[in-house]
Chains A and B, each alone.
Chain A
Amino acid sequence: MDFAFIREYSPLYIEAAKLTMRIAVIGILGAIILGFLCSMIRYYRVPVLQRIIGAYIELSRNTPLLIQLFFLYFGLVKIGIRFSSETCAVIGMIFLGGSYMSEAFRSGIEAVAKIQTEAGLSIGLTKWQVLRYIVLPQAIAISMPAFSANIIFLIKETSVFSAVALADLMYVAKDLIGLYYKTDEALLMLVIAYLIILLPISIVFSLIERKLRYAGMGN
Chain B
Amino acid sequence: MQEWGISVLFQGRNLIRLLTGLWVTIRISLISVAVSIVLGILLGMLMTWKNPITKGLSRIYLEFIRIMPQLVLLFIVYFGVTKAFRISISGELAAIIVFVMWGMAEMGDLVRGALQSIPKHQYESGRAIGLTQSQIYRYIIIPQTIRRLLPLAINLITRMIKTTSLIVLIGVVEVVKVGQQIIEANRLTVPTAAIWIYGVIFFLYFIVCYPISMLSIKLEKIWKG
Contact = CB atoms under 8 A, between A and B. Distances in A.
SS class, residues of chain A in contact with chain B: helix
Interface stretch (A9-17, A86-94, A108-116, A192-200): A192-200
B198 A75 contact: yes
A74 B68 CA distance: 27
A62 B67 contact: no
A67 interface: yes
Interface in B196-217: 196-199, 201-202, 205-206, 209-210, 213
Interface stretch (B35-43, B77-85, B118-126): B77-85
A170 B72 contact: yes
A152 B197 CA distance: 31
A210 interface: no
A157 B71 CA distance: 9
A78 interface: yes
By secondary structure, the B interface counts as helix
B199 A64 contact: no
B70 A63 contact: no
Contacts of B75: 170, 173-174, 187, 190
A58 interface: yes
A198 to B, nearest CB: 5
Contacts of B71: 159-160, 170
Nearest to A177: B79
A64 B206 contact: no
Given A78-B191, A156-B69, A184 B83 contact: yes
B191 A63 contact: no
Contact of B72 (A64, A177, A194): A194
The 9 A-B residue pairs whose C-beta atoms are closest, nearest first, are A159-B69, A62-B209, A75-B195, A64-B165, A64-B162, A75-B198, A156-B69, A71-B198, A78-B192
Given A62-B213, A75-B198, A152-B67, 17 more contacts: A62-B210, A66-B168, A71-B195, A156-B67, A159-B69, A159-B71, A170-B69, A170-B71, A177-B79, A184-B80, A184-B83, A187-B76, A191-B72, A194-B68, A198-B67, A199-B67, A202-B63
Interface of A: 58-59, 61-64, 66-68, 70-71, 74-79, 152, 156-160, 162-163, 170, 173-174, 177, 183-184, 187, 190-191, 194-195, 198-199, 202
